[in-house]
Amino acid sequence: MLLKELRADARLAEWLKDLEREGPPREAVPLPDADELPEVLLDLSVPHEHINELVALRGQLAADPEAMALLARCVTRFVRDMGEIGTAWEPPVLPASTGALGRCFPLFVFVATLPYVRAHHRERGIPEDVSRRTLADLGRHVSVHHRRAGGPGLLFPWWTALHFHGELFQLGRLQFQRAVLGQRTGRAVVAAGLGAGPGDVCLSLHITDFRGPLSPAACDRSLTLARAFFARHYPEERHEIATCHSWLLDPQLKRYLPAESNIIRFQDRFAVESEETGADDGVPVGFVFGDPDLPVDTLPRRSSVERAVGDHLRAGGHWYGGSGWFAL
C-alpha cells in the first residue's frame, strides 16, 4: 500500500507527520469518478495514450482509504492560501517503490484541486481561455515525463503547483509567474533608478518546450498580453519588472549562435546580472535532447541549438544558469 512505502522512508515519514499534525482534512476531495476522469484529463491536455492507465490508477487510489485520506490532506494544505505568492505547497516526488500510483499521485492532487483553482480564476475575472491553457500545461508536463521516463507522471510537481495555485499563467508563448524580487536582482533594479527593489512583486518568465519557436514576435505578443492581463486581474500588484532564471541566459551561447537567432534575441532583452558558479549541464541537455543523462558523445547535431549544447560539452565546457531582468 502507498502509505506503507512512504512511512518506510525517513524523509517522507516526517512529511506525513507534518500533514497529520494539522488535524483532519478540512476540504472535500472532488476526485472525478472513472467515467468523468477521461474528459477531465483530456481537457488538461493529458495525452490519450495515458488515459486508460490513469483511470485504472484512480481505481487503485480510491480503493485505498489511507491513500484517499492523504489525498484529502494534500488538497487541504494546497488550497488553504490559494493565489498567495510564494506559498504554493509542493507535493514531493515519491520513491520508485511506490510504483505507478506514487509516480502519478501529484497528478491526482492537482486534478482534485481543479474546482478550487477554477473558483479563484473566476473570482479574479480571468478569461476562460487563459484558465484553460494555463491548467492544460499539466498535460505538457505529462508528455515531458513520458519523453524521459516512458510513462505518465510529473518530473517537476513544484512547477505544476504554481499553475494550480493561481501564481502562474500561460499567456501566449511564455509563462508568467507572480513572484517577488530577490536581494541581488532587486539591488540591480534599484541601482538602475527604477521604482522597485528587493521584496517587490515582479513577473518571472518561464520558457516551455512543445510550444513552438521562441521568436521575437511571439515574445512581444506574450509581453503585451501580460501587461494587460496583470493590470486588469491583479491591479493591487505593480508588476514593473520581468525576471528570468534560465540556462538560456548563459552568455556562452553567444559563442555558438548568431546574433539574429531566437535565443540570442531573447537574451538581449535582459540585463544579465548574475550567473551561477556551479555547472548544471543536465538542464540544457534535458531540455534540448529530452534526457539529462544522455552520454555527451551520443548527443545529435541536427540543429544549431543541439550543436551548441553538445559541441560545448564535448570540448570540455560546462553550462550555467543565468539570471536577468528588464523593465516592463
Question: For the residues 67-86, what does the mean pLDDT come to?
Answer: 93
Cell of 170: 500561460
Residue 26 has pLDDT above 90, yes or no: no
Asked if residue 1 has pLDDT above 90, the reply is no
- Residue 250, number of CB atoms within 10 A of its CB: 22
Q: Regarding beta strands 174-180 and 201-207, do their DSSP bridges make them parallel or antiparallel, or are they unpaired?
A: antiparallel
Q: In this structure, what C-alpha cell is assigned to residue 118?
A: 477554477
Q: What is the pLDDT of residue 87?
A: 83
Average pLDDT rounded to a whole number, residues 234-258:
95
pLDDT of residue 38: 98
The verdict on pTM exceeding 0.85 is yes
Q: Give the mean model confidence (pLDDT) for residues 126-142.
A: 97
Cell numbers that stand for 295 in this block:
552520454
Written as one string, the DSSP assignment of 300-319 is --SSHHHHHHHHHHHTT---
Q: Which residues, 6 or more positions from 220, have their beta carbon under 8 angstroms from its beta carbon?
A: none
Between CA 40 and CA 62 the distance in angstroms is: 17
Is 90 exceeded by the pLDDT of residue 325?
yes
Q: Is the pLDDT of residue 41 over 90?
A: yes
Find the mean pLDDT for residues 20-40.
87
Instruction: Give the per-residue pLDDT at 140.
Output: 95
CB 176 within 8 A of CB 204: yes
The confidence score (pLDDT) of residue 202 equals 97
Residue 274: predicted pLDDT: 67
Mean pLDDT of 56-71: 94
54 within 8 A of 104, measured Cβ to Cβ = yes
Percent of the chain with pLDDT over 70: 99
What percent of the chain shows pLDDT beyond 90? 79
> What is the predicted pLDDT for the residue at 30?
81
Residues paired with residue 327 on neighbouring β-strands, in sequence order: 241
Closest by CA position to 263, among listed 291, 241, 284, 293: 284
Domains of the chain and CATH, by start: 1-168 (no CATH), 172-328 (3.40.630.120)
Give the model's confidence band at 265: pLDDT under 50 very low, under 70 low, under 90 confident, else very high: very high
